Structure 1
């Protein structure tokens, strides 16, 4: 007979200690895997878990590799617009976090622009200055470096902006440039979308409006797609009409009687004797006609 097993019940303290030890072992394993140099939090394939690579935060070196523009404060409205556009592109490409956007962007300021920024940081404090949203910095710099008279001209331009013909691409680029500087006219993205759709041609405006785009990107993509379809349909229709006209022209030429062309060719190719007989007959006929008229 096998010996009888004796089980000793575990106390609550022992159970808690066992759980705590398991948690500690799991955390130690996690830290070991994270610091192993491969940059992931993964287990071997036998565990059945999917390998996931941790996203590396954008560094200032990564930011500079995307070649951001410098801004000195003397470039005017066009220069500031280009700086805004390039900076947003660099944010996207470098995957710059929101927390680092102001810190990295203001490192590209030079000259009077840098002096202005350093003065602002001194007045409000480091945390408040570098903790502001990117849109807030854009509004501050627009107010500082773009005269109100120039902004007024841009606001009038964006208000009257319409698509020329079917060129939605050029319209979109121009609208985006103007919207960057006209924050007072289109303060929210919903206002920007409404104004953008309002400048589209009638042939696609209703469809874009009916789609109720929530973002500018949605509105731009849908408008571009619709216009491409309209242009393609029109081109196909024109090609079909031309093909039908060509076919009808060929059919008409095939059905036309050839005797007229043959008579003309016969008149030019007649022998001199034949031409003489024709002239005599014509004269005789004309003389007969004249005599008859006189007799009457």
Structure 2
């Protein structure tokens, strides 16, 4: 069967009709796609912006006893949760107020009684934060944070601690560094003198750029030994360690005598730790030992022999000691400490111990 031939005129008419209807078809398809996308976004927003989804992020509670720093940190964490969960503006205050506990909850209930629940829930997030700051941020605490940020400086080569504290203070008192330019100027101002000039001349455009440049220059300065403060501190730490060890050794070699207020040496094994003294010829540290009786060096008052009269323990005579006492040796001798009986001129005392 021979193939069927199409009429060229009919084909032309069909093409013209299709081209005429094509714009309408395209517009209808686009409207349908936009509608589906809007429905999907609405479903996602409704799903995420629920109290259950909000609590699933485990936001922290606020009790009103954390002080200004605690409140500012709580607000910062709360804003992060509200942003992640895509909470609607009308739900932010209501959700956040559910986390108030203790003293803070009592304060919020007072606000509800004064303003009414509907008016309170209609507060914007900025108004809610302002009320919290007026109640729990004492002006004195805010002034301390402002002064700390204003005078914050880098200590030695510790650029990491300086940067971390700067970020923390900038979040606690953001009104001092509201613009990016102010944050950069304040950050660069507190850098160490060894790197401050190079960072300033580089003219960083963002705070992160300034931080990266300060960290790089600090590491280079540490390797080249440009931080003089660290050298002095290291030298001082070494000197303190040497002094501490010397004092510990010296404390073992001498002790304070309570009654006389003098110092005495320990055993002979510890004498080698000190040189021989030119005055008393003894090994000791510090001043010489002085006797409080004879005012002479080298011995204590309890060992002083200067001016002491040693006598016999048997008869009390200063002419001899006990080991030379005649009566103990059975020798005839007259006791000079006791006179001979006048009634017995030729007699002598019988040998017995007195």
TM-score after normalising by structure 1: 0.53
Greater RCO, 1 or 2 (C-alpha within 8 Å, sep 6+): 1
Return the offset for 1:168: 1.8
Are the equivalent residues in 1 in contact too, given 2:184–2:207 (CA < 8 A)? yes
Q: Tell me the equivalent position of 1:153.
A: 144
Counterpart mapping for 1:1-296 below 5 A: 2=5, 4-6=7-9, 7-8=12-13, 17-28=21-32, 58-59=48-49, 61-87=52-78, 90=81, 95-97=84-86, 99=88, 102-103=92-93, 104-110=95-101, 111-112=105-106, 114-115=108-109, 118=112, 126=121, 129-130=123-124, 132=125, 138=129, 140-232=131-223, 234=225
In structure 2, distance between residues paired with 1:185 and 1:202: 23
Q: Measure the CA separation in 1 of the matches of 2:190 and 2:116.
A: 40
Tell me if the contact between 2:111 and 2:120 (Cα under 8 Å) persists in the aligned partners. no
CA distance in 2, matches of 1:150, 1:20: 67
* RMSD across aligned positions (CA): 4.4
Q: Distance between the aligned counterparts of 1:109 and 1:145, measured in 2?
A: 13
Aligned counterparts of 1:209 and 1:27: Cα–Cα separation in 2:
55
Distance 2:205 2:119 in 1: 35
**Aligned partners of 1:98 and 1:192: how far apart in 2?**
30
| SS of alignment partner, residue 109 of structure 1 | coil
Cα pair 1:81 1:177 within 8 Å, conserved: no
For residues 266-286 of structure 1, what are the alpha-carbon distances to aligned partners after superposition, in whole Å with 9 as ceiling and x for unaligned?
xxxxxxxxxxxxxxxxxxxxx
TM-score, normalization by structure 2: 0.46
Inter-CA distance 231–152: structure 2 relative to 1 (3 Å threshold): same
In our comparison, the structure showing a higher alpha carbon Rg is 2
- How many residue pairs get aligned? The number is 212
Q: Secondary structure at the match of 2:13?
A: coil
Gaps spanning 5+ residues in structure 1: where?
A: 41-53, 236-296
Does the 8 A contact of 1:72 with 1:114 survive in 2?
A: no
Q: 4+ runs of 1 displaced by more than 6 Å?
A: 9-12, 29-35, 54-57
CA distance in 1, matches of 2:109, 2:117: 11
CA distance in 2, matches of 1:196, 1:20: 60
